[in-house]
Amino acid sequence: MHPALSLKLLENLPKRVQASALAVCSSNGPLVADSDVKTVLDYAKRNHGEESCLPFLYGLLDPSKIPSRLDAEHMERFAAVDILRVTSTLQTLNLTSFLFRDAAPEIWSRVLPWVVFLFDYGSTLAIPTQDPRHPHRIALDFLTFSTRLFSYLDVFRDRDALRVLACGWKVSQSFDAFLVSELGHHFTVVLEGVICPGEDAMDSTLLLETLCDGIDGGPQHLAKVILDHLRGASKDIHERAGDKKPIESFLGIVELVMHVDLGLNVLHTRRPRATGLFLALLRYDFVGVLSKTLAVLVKQKAGATAIGEGLQIRIIGQLILVFGLPPGNLRLPEALENHLLESLVQLATTPSDRADGVLHGEITILFKTVFPDLLFRYSCVRAFQRVLVSTKDKLVGIESRFKSPQLVESWTALSQLLTKRIALLEAFQIKQPFLKVCSNLKCTAVLVKRAFKRCSGCMTFLYCSKSCQIEDWCRGGHRDACSSHYEMYLRDRNLDLTGRDRSFLRKIADVNSPVDFTYGQTAKPVVGSDSTIVIVAQRVYNEHKVIPFHPGTEREAQYLDASLSRVPIVRKAYDDLVRRASESNGHLSVDLIQYYPGRNRFSDDGQMLVMPVYSSRPRFQRFRSAGNSKEQDFREEDELLLEFHY
């Protein structure tokens, strides 16, 4: 036993207090005089935790007095005396925490069993919610004194202890702002000992289960608690410039998210997928909070301190992971609205105190890989357009102030790509009549979209009249392929593309792709018509490379291999579209557009979008002309307005 816990120290107390303390410590029964307990505790509080009271407090926490049976009669008697003693003792320990550092391990071995017991069985004891002995209050008290009393952070790796502390963390968020800030910081200190690097760190799955158990909720509830904490810490960072505590508090929870969410933590996962916690975080504005906080840190020049720069690096790294995992890639516009681009540019012009250049390296990844991968989405390009318009004067020649050649190179390439995509967006936004083509190959009438009726089976094919639908069903082959086209329809809905994204992808593939091929480069088909050509618009270095092939050739097998796409196409529906193209006498063709929904880390991260199209596009006509193929006499003024065939 530590000398500070010896009963001999009770001799230093005043006679009356000493008598009460000895009476309590010498009692072996379940009941002791409340007056004796109150006398000693009152003295300890008045004297700020007189060191001589420590043996008394230690004896009061004897775990052997925890009830071993939970029958109603015994628990009622226990609730009348022992709980009052223990909770009062916890309050006293909180007031005198500075005295217990050397004796902390032995104190911990007695505090933890009591705290866990009270937390687990508080509802069984039928204690009113407003009573200070309620389990929520016990958890809050435990969080309040734990990091002040116990400097040995590894003790918090105990699952029961962390469960109670998590409950206290959740409960603390309903208090005033100052207390929320202080207790939130306490919890991040606890987490430091739980998720620190090394073999002793708690397993991420076990940690997630423990936190959910402590807050009495699932991943969605945990996400809400996390975001409430981050918002509070972000507000404190804004209002308390120069204070390290809010930064440490924010950083601790960001580290927690990266540790417990497998979708974000495993950087080299072959097939990453969004977890329930990840989706809930996005729903509660995780990206917005990160972006706003980064903007505040940049404005305050918090990167001048090691902790400030560390938080900036963590936020940018977290955003890289979020944007690379669908549906996090849909949140880029939200981040740009919260000044993400301005913050990154400002950081790129600021010297870093770190010799390893991690901060500028993370920004380079965003400029070189992450942002270009998302510029096939209409919403992302439009968001960049708004930001560049509002910051045009600030960004002119900004690359000359960048602190590394890698930043200059990546920013220059991104700027050039943005210029092209924004010009394409402006042309795309010009309002024109939205025309469609009848799916009956014997009709192919061009009308406004609202004039057509959609097939209720496949939800894809359009017909200008009932007779055209019957004709195509009975003689056009739609009866055999309708269910397959419906499978394709459902598959395309899972590709996480909006209608505008599809149209914009078509625009990129059709207008912005170079025409660098000739008819002789395509192999002769094994089956089908020579005039039937499938074009693959494949993303290569942030652009789209056009690759034509005939159905039935080796190239077709190469580009339709399921391993090239995380969501394989419905082959029967594709074959039906190719058949229709071959029977259309050159009126129709098929496009396969390969794109990457988020991070482009592995070749099979790509997805294939099948688009049946009208064959009168300028680049396709130049391709057919190069092969001395007879051009069709089309109504060019109508065809130029078509976005899709179906």
More confident residue, 247 or 3: 247
* Residue 630: pLDDT over 70: no
Question: How does residue 503 score in pLDDT terms, banded at 50, 70 and 90?
Answer: confident
Write down the mean pLDDT value for the chain. Answer: 76
Mean of pLDDT values over 557-563: 66
* Residue 483: pLDDT over 80: yes
Could you tell me the CA-to-CA distances from 241 to 142, 298, 299, 353 in Å, in that order? 29, 11, 10, 20
- Smallest CA-to-CA distance from 281 within 310, 321, 238 is with 321
Element of type H or E holding 435: strand 435-437
DSSP 328: G
CB 577 within 8 A of CB 623: no
Mean of pLDDT values over 433-451: 83
Element of type H or E holding 614: strand 607-614
* Residue 352: pLDDT over 90: no
Question: How does residue 345 score in pLDDT terms, banded at 50, 70 and 90?
Answer: very high
* Residue 4: pLDDT over 70: no
* Residue 530: pLDDT over 80: no
The single residue listed with the structure tokens 């029961």 is 160
What digits encode the pLDDT tens for the residues 225-235? 999 999 999 99
What pLDDT sits at residue 89?
A: 59
3-state secondary structure 55-69: HHHHHHCCHHHCCCC
Q: Which of 185-199, 241-255, 341-355, 566-580 is modeled with the greatest confidence?
A: 241-255
Question: How does residue 568 score in pLDDT terms, banded at 50, 70 and 90?
Answer: confident
More confident residue, 581 or 265: 581
CB 167 within 8 A of CB 125: no
What pLDDT sits at residue 199?
A: 62
- Smallest CA-to-CA distance from 142 within 134, 221, 268 is with 134
* Residue 425: pLDDT over 80: yes
* Residue 335: pLDDT over 50: yes
> What span, in angstroms and rounded, lies between the C-alpha atoms of 9 and 544?
81
Q: Is 589 helix (H, G, I), strand (E, B) or coil?
A: strand
* Residue 146: pLDDT over 70: yes
Report the Cα–Cα distance between both ends of the chain, in Å, rounded. 82
* Residue 30: pLDDT over 60: no
User: Given phi > 0 = left and psi -120 to 50 = alpha, else beta, which region is 581?
Assistant: alpha
What pLDDT sits at residue 295?
A: 95
The single residue listed with the structure tokens 């979209």 is 449
Question: How does residue 292 score in pLDDT terms, banded at 50, 70 and 90?
Answer: very high
Portion of the chain with pLDDT greater than 70, in percent: 70
What pLDDT sits at residue 141?
A: 79
Contacts of the segment 300-306: beta carbons below 8 A, 24+ positions apart: 300/237, 300/241, 300/242, 301/350, 302/237, 302/241, 302/247, 303/347, 303/350, 303/352, 303/353, 303/359, 304/353, 305/244, 306/353
What digits encode the pLDDT tens for the residues 70-98? 555 555 555 444 554 555 555 555 444 55
What digits encode the pLDDT tens for the residues 124-145? 665 544 455 577 878 887 887 7
Mean of pLDDT values over 2-31: 70
CB 601 within 8 A of CB 373: no
Q: Which of 258-272, 525-539, 550-564 is modeled with the greatest confidence?
A: 550-564
Q: Which residues pair with 171 in a beta bridge?
A: none
Other beta carbons less than 10 A from residue 291's beta carbon: 24
What digits encode the pLDDT tens for the residues 262-280? 555 544 455 566 788 888 9
- Smallest CA-to-CA distance from 125 within 173, 184, 72 is with 72
Could you tell me the CA-to-CA distances from 509 to 294, 491, 503 in Å, in that order? 35, 21, 10
Q: Which of 285-294, 496-505, 520-529 is modeled with the greatest confidence?
A: 285-294
> What span, in angstroms and rounded, lies between the C-alpha atoms of 15 and 513?
94
CB neighbour burial string for 505-530, b if at least 16 within 10 angstroms, e if fewer: bbbbbbeebeeebeeeebeebeebbe
What pLDDT sits at residue 639?
A: 42
Portion of the chain with pLDDT greater than 90, in percent: 28
For the chain, what is the largest distance between any 2 Cα atoms, rounded to a whole number of angstroms? 115
> What span, in angstroms and rounded, lies between the C-alpha atoms of 79 and 57?
19
* Residue 464: pLDDT over 70: yes
- Smallest CA-to-CA distance from 265 within 209, 314, 220, 218 is with 314
Q: Which of 373-382, 503-512, 577-586, 599-608 is modeled with the greatest confidence?
A: 373-382
What pLDDT sits at residue 583?
A: 82
User: Where are the domains positioned within the chain?
Assistant: 469-639
More confident residue, 578 or 527: 578
CB neighbour burial string for 564-599, b if at least 16 within 10 angstroms, e if fewer: bbbeebbeebbebbbbbbbbbebbbbbbbbbbbbbb
CB 612 within 8 A of CB 572: no
547 contact partners, CB below 8 Å, separation of at least 6: 517, 535, 536, 537, 538, 555, 559
What pLDDT sits at residue 644?
A: 41
CB 149 within 8 A of CB 93: yes
Mean of pLDDT values over 14-27: 76
> What span, in angstroms and rounded, lies between the C-alpha atoms of 458 and 478?
9
More confident residue, 425 or 103: 425
Q: In terms of C-beta density within 10 A (0-12 exposed, 13-18 middle, 19 or more buried), how is residue 351 classed?
A: exposed
Helices then strands, each counted (H, E), the chain: 29, 8
What digits encode the pLDDT tens for the residues 32-72? 556 777 777 777 767 655 567 777 777 777 777 777 665 55
The residue ranges of DSSP E strands in 557-606, in sequence order, are: 588-595
